[in-house]
């Protein structure tokens, strides 16, 4: 009889920490980035930075929440959920960029820089949190089924 292993509670802890640290860093980044954007390019800079960072914060938060929701399911379900959300986010990003392409109320260079910095900042923060979080790992050996 084959059984499916599920993620233990200890694997959820790093993702909770990523969510907490990510939301805090995202809020701080939005405030500081918005101020810098305003100082660099006025209201256009403010909007460009807020939208670029906002997309990064929203997309990464959705990924972490989805991982937390599906962490206790089979690994195949987690993988399918993350892949599905990735495809939805790519489609949403393309739609957002298509709508914003003709708009002139925001700074496009600052939007691009903020989106790039937000994305790489979140990836780096997530890697740092996961690597620094102590997770109990046990490996047990099972005797083969006797027939």
User: Is residue 39 situated within a structural domain?
Assistant: yes
Pick 111 or 63 by higher pLDDT: 111
Tell me, letter by letter, the H, E, C secondary structure of 95-127. HHHHHHCCCCCCCHHHHHHHHHHHHHHHHHHHH
51 assigned to some structural domain = yes
137 within domain boundaries = no
| Chain segment 17-69, per-residue pLDDT in tens | 888 988 999 999 999 999 999 999 999 999 999 999 999 999 999 988 888 88
User: What pLDDT does 99 receive?
Assistant: 94
Instruction: Please indicate, yes or no, if residue 4 is contained in any of the structural domains.
Output: no
- Name the one residue in this structure whose structure tokens are 């109990």: 136
What local confidence, expressed as pLDDT, does residue 54 receive? 95
Nearest to 78 by CA among 1, 5, 2: 5
Total domains present in the chain: 1
Rounded average pLDDT over 67-95? 87
Instruction: Name which residue leads in pLDDT, 48 or 126.
Output: 48
**50, 5 contact by CB (below 8 A):** no
């Amino acid at each position: 009889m084959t059984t499916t292993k599920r993620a233990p509670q200890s694997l959820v802890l790093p993702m909770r920490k990523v969510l907490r640290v990510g939301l805090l860093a995202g809020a701080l980044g939005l405030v500081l980035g918005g101020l810098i954007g305003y100082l660099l390019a006025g209201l256009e800079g403010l909007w460009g930075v807020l939208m670029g960072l906002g997309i990064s914060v929203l997309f990464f938060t959705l990924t972490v929440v989805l991982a937390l929701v599906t962490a206790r399911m089979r690994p195949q379900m987690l993988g399918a959920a993350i892949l599905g959300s990735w495809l939805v986010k790519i489609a949403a990003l393309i739609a957002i960029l298509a709508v914003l392409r003709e708009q002139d109320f925001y700074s496009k260079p600052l939007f691009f820089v903020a989106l790039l910095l937000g994305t790489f900042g979140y990836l780096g923060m997530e890697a740092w949190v996961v690597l620094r979080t102590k997770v109990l790992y046990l490996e047990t050996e099972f005797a083969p089924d006797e027939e």
